[in-house]
Chains A and B, each alone.
Chain A
Amino acid sequence: MVHARLVRFGGAMKKVQFNTRSVPYLLLLPQLSIVAIFFLWPAAEAVRSSFYLEDPFGFGATFVGFDNFIDTVTSSDYARVARFTTVFTLLVTFLSLGIALLLAVKADKVLRGASSYKTLLMWVYAVAPPVAGLIGVMMFDQHVGPMVDFFALFGWEMQIGVNYFDTGFAMTATAIWKQIPVNFIFFLSGLQGISKSVQEAASIDCRSGFRRFWTVTFPLLAPTGFFLLIINITYAMFDTFGIIDVVLKGEPGNNPVTLVYKVFLDGFRGNDLGGSSAQSVILMILVFVLTVIQFRLIERRVHYT
């Protein structure tokens, strides 16, 4: 669950508390046992096996130190996947944020039909990524897809699943479509949180709506924007798995994949346990860094509000 990963640490204590000794452990037992078995154990296992070379026939494993990491980072395939993931993540993040911000600003402004607009723009939140991927595959299908017909008007013969760029384009478009609603919901509630008096003062001081947006509204939305930035990066990297898998019809071939998809491919299809684990660990470090940045921003955000 990516968009609920934030915690506020301030005021973490109640003044009055129960002192019963056994009850809290009993209450925590279910959560802690699930965390231990299904989180800590697999995470530790991933770290451990990233330092081992597993025999493909199941005859034990040899400790190889950092070899798996070195092999991963230096392979040209990994570099290619990392490049695509970077471009994909940047495009998905900035385009879905940009479109959602534009729509939220307009939806905040209109009076007539405001709630209908809101509903129609947010409901796609509930569509599962692979379902979005399936619709995307149809829209961009070589035989039946209307998007292919549309781009053919401009002389672009799209070949999804064959052409690297075209496949990447379909994935990116679908991923952006799926992510707009979340950003829209957050931006709109951020905009509606800006007080009426600030808005009125701004409209007296500054006649141009465009300038007013950049000098008053945008800075007030910045904390929401920073926060969404991290959420979107995490989404593009991890939650798009379903979209990518369906667009590729489970057959990656020469098509673009993301880093997370490669972890899955090498682990389950390639049987390269050590390499897959090393990639997992690299991603863990990346997520860890992102989360630290996120908390830093949250502390700032609390000061703002």
Chain B
Amino acid sequence: MKRIKFSDHVILLAGVFFMVAPVALAFLTSTHDAVTIYKSGMQFTFGDQFLQNYETVLTRAGGFTKEVDGLVMLKNSLILGLGFAIGKIIISMLAAYAIVYFRFPFASLCFWVIFCTLLLPLEVRILPSYEIVQGLGMVNTYSGLIVPLIASATGTFFFRQFFLSVPDELLEAARIDGAGPWKFFIDILVPLSKTMIAAIFIIMFVYGWNQYLWPTLITTEESLFTLVRGIKQIMQVWIGAQIPDFNEAMALAILAMLPPVVIVVIFQSWFIKGLVESDK
């Protein structure tokens, strides 16, 4: 049988150290004042500025227009994460339902049109995407921020696969009972998909929350900044400063990663299931 050796634990602990240490250092550094960090580098102890730094980052209005603080960015990040996840789930469930459960002309054409969105990441078509969204007057709006991100069809394929695995007998039984397409969808298919919805919700929330390039282009008004978008602002202040606010930068980094990390850790088993199954 497998023998567990001491060295296995050593390797695993080294791996854990490699993954955790940078974030732990970032957190510890965020509890000190800027001058200490500037003088003696990143900090390995817990400092006395924890509450003060986080309060500053969360509530002090910064930027050029003085209208954005951490709480506003937190709210915007939540709107982006939730809006993206919920929007994507609803739209892709409806589309997958149509593709799997209906016989209609041009079905396979619709399928291939949606399929081809998997071929090109947003980064590759970023300039024309920006120009089109700008032309539609959607720059600096929540819809301009969220809707174009939904264009990729990953969710549709996830639900399509799941629906295909649902036994045919269910539909036969439902039809004998006289259930129409809407009734079947709402009363049978949606409740059956609950775990799948939860798994894809977590993946999509994290994905939406972590967006960077698109929000950077689409939101130039500071009141619409997300936390991750705020990182760019921090970097620009960094360049000019005499003593950069390293502590606040690290506090912002910790705040930006906290919600998605907590969700992924708490709902670990759903999340892993969703990730691994959707990729098969």
Contacts and interface: CB of A to CB of B under 8 A. Distances in A.
Given A31-B92, A103-B11, A110-B8, A130 B232 contact: yes
B150 A34 contact: yes
A62 interface: no
Interface size grouping (class) on chain A: 35 or more
Interface stretch (A19-27, A68-76, A84-92): A19-27
A238 B102 contact: no
Interface string A274-287: 00110010011001
B42 A144 contact: yes
Contacts of A82: none
Contacts of A284: 119-120, 124-125
Interface in A236-286: 238-239, 241-242, 245-246, 249-251, 260, 263-264, 267-268, 273, 276-277, 280, 283-284
| Residue of A31, A36, A121, A189 with highest tally of chain B CB at under 10 A | A31
B190 interface: no
Interface stretch (B47-55, B61-69, B167-175): B167-175
A242 B212 contact: yes
Contacts of B114: 31-32, 35
A201 interface: no
B128 A138 contact: no
Interface in A204-244: 209, 227, 231, 234, 238-239, 241-242
B128 A43 contact: yes
B123 A241 contact: yes
B11 A126 contact: no
A204 B203 CA distance: 41
B247 to A, nearest CB: 11
B188 interface: no
B192 interface: no
B212 A35 contact: no
Given A20-B102, A130-B232, A268-B127, A34 B118 contact: no
A34 B147 contact: yes
B231 interface: yes
B253 interface: yes
A239 B114 CA distance: 22
A43 B4 contact: no
Contacts of A4: 154, 157-158, 203, 275, 278-279
Contacts of B16: 117, 120-121
A56 interface: no
A130 B231 contact: yes
Contact of A185 (B131, B217, B250, B272): B272
Contacts of A21: 104
Nearest to B239: A249
B186 interface: no
B8 A144 contact: no
A200 B2 CA distance: 9
A153 interface: no
Contact of B19 (A136, A181, A209, A280): A181
B156 A31 contact: yes
Task: Name the 4 nearest CB pairs between A and B, nearest first.
Answer: A128-B210, A45-B128, A27-B98, A42-B128
Interface of A: 1-8, 11-12, 14-21, 23-25, 27-28, 30-32, 34-43, 45-46, 49, 99, 102-103, 106-107, 109-113, 117-131, 133-139, 143-146, 149, 177, 180-182, 185-186, 189, 199-200, 203, 209, 227, 231, 234, 238-239, 241-242, 245-246, 249-251, 260, 263-264, 267-268, 273, 276-277, 280, 283-284, 287-288, 291
14 contacts: A23-B102, A23-B181, A28-B94, A43-B128, A99-B18, A106-B12, A109-B2, A109-B8, A117-B12, A124-B23, A126-B263, A129-B210, A139-B25, A241-B213
Given A127-B261, A185-B276, 20 more contacts: A4-B203, A8-B280, A18-B102, A28-B94, A28-B99, A31-B156, A39-B117, A39-B120, A106-B15, A110-B8, A110-B12, A122-B264, A124-B19, A126-B257, A127-B257, A144-B38, A145-B42, A200-B1, A249-B238, A249-B239
